[in-house]
């Protein structure tokens, strides 16, 4: 049996999110070797000479029309997320339902994916995210003492949005967002103590596609994980920065605000952010139903110098490790 790893093609946005590659590195920990890289959004056209086992974790898919996957793929569906924008299209195809039922139960990264699959009578359960097991390859006792800021409130980074797509300025002016383009910086200064900001280093998960080959993107993801593992503190609004930090024992704070709690984002995040220390940039969110289920910390009483991670992810992480190891052992 051969073993494959998910890779990621170029998107029309001109950027890529290295969080995808971090999710693949979580799967790679379990593989005895990588014989092939299979593009996530072209699974149906994968050219494989023989049966290839693949851990199918992560975000699916920009192209639901490219399902079901090629018959040579032997999948383990674990930490599987269905994009809420395309879930209906993917599951309206009877062949896709038949395919998923063949490999049930489907382990899901979030509760919304469980609901989608159950709606179509596919047996599914909440498994949590495979990035919470990245301690296998990346946890270390060596600490740099660095404080890292990683894409904090990136959804409100209008300067970057306008740089990438100037045409968005017009609708943002009409909606009043354009006049709030400096609010992100002010909000961050209000939330995070000055001494933390003064000593922080800045990283991102968003890069221009043209600047990196796929091999370089995986190297970039690997380098970032090693930085996170050594850090004294990580502050982020990226779940695939925050969850790896949980796995590696790095103190981490998830900053939520802006569009991060809209309906689409919550469908993606519910089942992941519950394990994190959360500081909310929007006081209005403190009265929402969601905040009753997650660990929103008060910005006024939170001690940024003594951040302690929760442990609710651990029972899921141990089960994920067992499932993946059993799958690989069975298919060697």
pLDDT band at 274 (very low <50, low <70, confident <90, very high): confident
Helix/strand/coil for 87:
helix
Residues 279 and 142 in one domain: yes
Phi, psi of 277 (to 5 degrees): -75, 125
> 105 lies in which domain range?
2-130+315-331
Residues 196 and 245 in one domain: yes
Compare 29 and 164 and report the one with higher pLDDT.
29
Here the tokens at position 113 are: 């994916």
Phi, psi of 128 (to 5 degrees): 75, 180
Residues 122 and 234 in one domain: no
What pLDDT is stored for residue 158 in this prediction?
A: 65
Residues 242 and 307 in one domain: yes
Compare 180 and 273 and report the one with higher pLDDT.
273
DSSP labels for 148-214? EEESTTGGG-HHHHHHH-GGGHHHHHHHT-GGGTTHHHHHHHHHS-HHHHHTEEEE-SEEEGGG--H
Residues 143 and 221 in one domain: yes
Helix/strand/coil for 234:
strand
Here the tokens at position 206 are: 């968003």
* Alpha carbons 124 and 67: distance in angstroms, whole number: 19
pLDDT more than 70, % of the chain: 85
* Alpha carbons 31 and 28: distance in angstroms, whole number: 5
Span 59-76, pLDDT tens digits: 999 899 999 999 999 999
Residues 96 and 227 in one domain: no
Here the tokens at position 149 are: 């800021």
DSSP labels for 105-138? SEEESSHHHHHHHHHTT--EEE---GGGGTHHHH
pLDDT band at 184 (very low <50, low <70, confident <90, very high): confident
If one counts the domains in the chain, the total is 2
Span 135-177, pLDDT tens digits: 999 999 999 999 999 999 987 776 776 676 776 676 666 666 6
Residues 210 and 285 in one domain: yes
Residues 264 and 143 in one domain: yes
* Alpha carbons 131 and 172: distance in angstroms, whole number: 35
What pLDDT is stored for residue 197 in this prediction?
A: 96
Q: Is the pLDDT of residue 212 over 60?
A: yes
Residues 274 and 162 in one domain: yes
Residues 326 and 283 in one domain: no
Residues 26 and 159 in one domain: no
Span 244-270, pLDDT tens digits: 999 999 999 999 876 666 555 665 677
Element (DSSP H or E) covering residue 315: helix 314-331
What pLDDT is stored for residue 262 in this prediction?
A: 59
Burial class (CB in 10 A: 0-12, 13-18, 19+), 300: exposed
Q: Is the pLDDT of residue 230 over 70?
A: yes
Q: How many angstroms separate the Cα of 61 from the Cα of each of 3, 56, 300? A: 21, 12, 40
CA angle 20, 165, 11 (to 5 degrees): 30
Residues 52 and 82 in one domain: yes
Q: What CATH number corresponds to the domain at position 48?
A: 3.40.50
Mean pLDDT across the chain, nearest whole number? 89
Q: Is the pLDDT of residue 280 over 90?
A: no
């Amino acid at each position: 049996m051969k073993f494959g790893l998910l890779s990621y093609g170029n998107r029309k946005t001109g950027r890529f999110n290295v969080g995808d590659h971090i999710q693949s590195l979580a799967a790679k920990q379990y593989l005895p070797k990588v014989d092939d890289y299979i593009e996530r959004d072209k699974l149906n056209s994968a050219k494989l000479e023989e049966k290839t086992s693949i851990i199918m974790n992560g975000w699916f898919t920009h192209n639901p029309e490219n399902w079901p996957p090629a018959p040579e793929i032997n999948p383990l569906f674990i930490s599987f997320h269905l994009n809420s924008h395309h879930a209906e299209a993917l599951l309206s195809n009877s062949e896709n339902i038949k395919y998923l039922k063949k490999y049930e139960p489907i382990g899901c990264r979030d509760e919304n994916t469980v609901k989608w699959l159950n709606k179509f009578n596919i047996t599914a359960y909440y498994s949590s995210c495979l990035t919470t097991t990245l301690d296998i390859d990346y946890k270390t006792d060596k600490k740099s003492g660095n404080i890292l800021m990683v894409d904090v409130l990136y959804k409100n980074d209008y300067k970057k949005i306008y740089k990438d797509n100037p045409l968005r300025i017009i609708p943002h002016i009409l909606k009043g967002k354009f006049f709030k383009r400096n609010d992100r910086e002010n909000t961050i200064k209000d939330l995070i103590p000055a001494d933390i900001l003064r000593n922080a280093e800045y990283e991102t998960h968003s890069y221009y596609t043209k600047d990196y080959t796929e091999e370089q993107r995986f190297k970039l993801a690997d380098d970032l994980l090693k930085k996170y593992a050594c850090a004294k503190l990580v502050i982020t609004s990226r779940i695939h920065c925050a969850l790896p930090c949980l796995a590696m024992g790095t103190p981490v704070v998830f900053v939520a605000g802006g569009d991060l709690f809209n309906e689409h984002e919550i469908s993606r995040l519910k089942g992941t952010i519950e394990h994190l220390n959360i500081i909310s940039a929007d006081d209005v969110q403190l009265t929402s139903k969601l905040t009753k289920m997650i660990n929103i910390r008060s910005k006024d009483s939170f001690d940024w110098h003594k951040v302690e991670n929760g442990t609710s992810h651990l029972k899921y992480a141990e089960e994920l490790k067992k499932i993946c190891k059993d799958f690989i052992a069975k298919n060697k």
